[in-house]
């Protein structure tokens, strides 16, 4: 009997031990479930904080660098001792930010199984990009561009257009091609549509006298603007390599709101060089064609039977907003010069070889025109237009012109000094920064 009781007591003890041993996995499973739930809750919180930070960091108007921006959101969510990695790809038309974060949290039950911590991880990416791109491509066709410069510029400019107007980008990208010399020719049909055919004084060329007051004001009232006479500051026959006229002729006129790469490239091949360097006027026209107020001018032209923009871009120039990137790329090889007019007041003055250049008078000095250029640059930047400037083997007597050209750019990194050997590379760099490969498309 005694032995039987001992046996029963021993059996009871064994059952207790076995019950305890069998209960341990159950406790670990149940407790581990609690730890896993805590892990998932923290993972969701971590992912939400990271996503919020990435979205804020990718905003085009975000002034701060990506990493501290993302970190500020993680800190605000109460996370500490985390490991954060952030990378950023930024151009003038897009900003993409990727990030990953990890941290260790203590376990409540899994420590029994020698798992004192669990790693919580999150990763993500965000991108903001302009939906539409409008570009004014402003090219110096003054006489000093002749020879090696024009030979280097033509293929470089054509490649610039090819980079920006691809089958994938041309549906949202348009280019205004603006050649200039001593003036800017708006085109015969456009001149008649803007000012009215009755305002035309001659058919040799089509340039408006857009003078000083319009550099800090809105688009001028074109019907009240004088037409520039066809005249030269040279005695015809004494210059070589370029046409003598201050106002370029029809083949060297503006191309408006185009996404036709082949047509724009063909225009570049047709360009002639002319006398004078009116960078201030060219810069102002670059801004005119990005100004939302110019849309009504283009509509007026269309109603008059002159269609200057394709139907898909009927809403351009679009309003200034974070949905449309507006860019001016200005290339010039020389300092701004004074503006002249014939003393005789003739509207057509082809100046035979016997006529002296003294028959012209200066109406605006080079210094005034340089100030006007700076005013046009400031007006563009005030509206959020991104301005690139390129000094192409700049010559002239003004040692401060390059600094003025640099100041015209939106930032120092958007100013370039170019030579014939690297103008193609510089145009490529600018094109890449404007319209990068959109990996999210």
- For residue 201, the SS3 value is coil
Whole-number Å distance between alpha carbons of 276 and 140: 10
Beta bridge partners of 120: 103
Domains of the chain: 2-129 (no CATH), 132-434 (3.40.50.410)
User: For the chain, how many residues are written?
Assistant: 441
Q: Between 294-303 and 188-195, two packed helices, what is the crossing angle to 10 degrees? A: 100
Contacts of 167 by beta carbon, 8 Å cutoff, 6+ apart: none
Q: Between 2-57 and 66-76, two packed helices, what is the crossing angle to 10 degrees? A: 140
* Neighbouring C-alpha atoms within 13 Å toward the C-beta of 157: 32
Contacts of 175 by beta carbon, 8 Å cutoff, 6+ apart: 135, 136, 137, 161, 164, 165, 255, 257, 258, 259, 264
Residues of the chain with pLDDT under 70: 1-35, 39, 108-113, 210-214, 216-217, 233-242, 244, 337-366, 396-397, 436-441
Cα–Cα nearest to 78, from 114, 42, 130, 125: 42
Using alpha carbons, list the distances in angstroms from residue 250 to 180, 279, 320. Answer: 12, 19, 31
Cα–Cα nearest to 256, from 272, 267, 245, 246: 267
CB 333 within 8 A of CB 145: yes
Whole-number Å distance between alpha carbons of 332 and 424: 14
Whole-number Å distance between alpha carbons of 265 and 386: 23
Whole-number Å distance between alpha carbons of 433 and 409: 14
Q: Are strands 360-364 and 255-258 parallel, antiparallel or unpaired?
A: unpaired
> CB neighbours (10 Å) of residue 102?
14
Whole-number Å distance between alpha carbons of 394 and 374: 17
Cα–Cα nearest to 346, from 164, 247, 201: 201
Return the pLDDT at 351. Answer: 44
CB 378 within 8 A of CB 351: no
Give CA torsion, residues 154, 253, 429, 171, to 10 deg.
-120
| Phi, psi angles (nearest 5°) of residue 106 | -75, 145
CB 87 within 8 A of CB 80: no
Whole-number Å distance between alpha carbons of 439 and 333: 36
**DSSP line for 249-306:** -GGGB-EEEE--HHHHHHHHHH---BS---HHHHHHHHHHTTSTTHHHHHHHHHHTT-
- For residue 35, the SS3 value is helix
* Neighbouring C-alpha atoms within 13 Å toward the C-beta of 291: 21
């Amino acid at each position: 009997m005694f032995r039987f009781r001992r046996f029963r007591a021993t059996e009871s003890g064994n059952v207790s031990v076995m019950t305890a041993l069998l209960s341990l996995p159950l406790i670990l499973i149940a407790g581990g479930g609690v730890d896993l739930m805590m892990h998932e809750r923290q993972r969701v919180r971590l992912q939400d904080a990271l996503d919020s930070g990435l979205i804020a960091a990718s905003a085009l108007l975000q002034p701060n660098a990506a990493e501290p921006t993302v970190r500020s959101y993680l800190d605000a969510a109460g996370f500490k001792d985390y490991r954060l990695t952030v990378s950023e790809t930024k151009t003038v038309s897009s900003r993409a930010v990727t990030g990953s974060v990890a941290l260790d949290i203590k376990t409540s039950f899994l420590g029994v199984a020698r798992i004192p911590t669990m790693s919580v991880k999150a990763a993500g990416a965000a991108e903001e990009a302009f939906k539409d791109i409008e570009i004014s491509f402003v090219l110096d066709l003054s006489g000093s561009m002749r020879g090696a410069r024009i030979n280097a510029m033509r293929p470089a400019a054509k490649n610039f257009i090819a980079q920006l107007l691809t089958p994938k980008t041309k549906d949202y990208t348009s280019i205004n091609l603006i050649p200039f010399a001593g003036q800017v020719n708006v085109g015969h049909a456009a001149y008649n549509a803007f000012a009215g055919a009755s305002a035309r004084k001659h058919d040799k060329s089509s340039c408006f006298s857009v003078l000083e007051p319009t550099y800090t004001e809105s688009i001028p009232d074109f019907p009240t603007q004088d037409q520039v006479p066809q005249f030269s500051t040279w005695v015809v026959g004494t210059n070589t390599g370029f046409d003598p006229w201050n106002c370029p002729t029809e083949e060297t006129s503006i191309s408006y709101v185009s996404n036709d790469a082949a047509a724009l490239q063909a225009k570049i091949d047709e360009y002639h060089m002319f006398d004078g360097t009116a960078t201030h006027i060219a810069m102002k026209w670059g801004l005119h064609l990005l100004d939302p107020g110019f849309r009504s001018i283009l509509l007026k032209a269309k109603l008059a039977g002159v269609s200057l923009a394709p139907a898909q871009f009927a809403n351009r120039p679009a309003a200034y907003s974070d949905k449309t990137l507006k860019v001016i790329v200005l290339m010039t090889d020389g300092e701004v010069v004074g503006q002249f007019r014939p003393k005789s007041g003739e509207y057509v003055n082809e100046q035979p070889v016997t006529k002296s250049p003294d028959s012209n008078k200066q109406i605006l000095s080079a210094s005034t025109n340089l100030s006007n250029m700076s005013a046009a640059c400031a007006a563009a930047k005030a509206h959020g237009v991104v301005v690139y400037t390129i000094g192409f083997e700049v010559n002239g007597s003004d040692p401060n012109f390059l600094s003025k050209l640099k100041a015209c750019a939106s930032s120092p990194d958007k100013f370039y000094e170019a030579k014939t050997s690297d103008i193609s590379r510089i145009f490529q760099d600018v094109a890449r920064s404007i319209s990068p490969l959109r990996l999210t498309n």
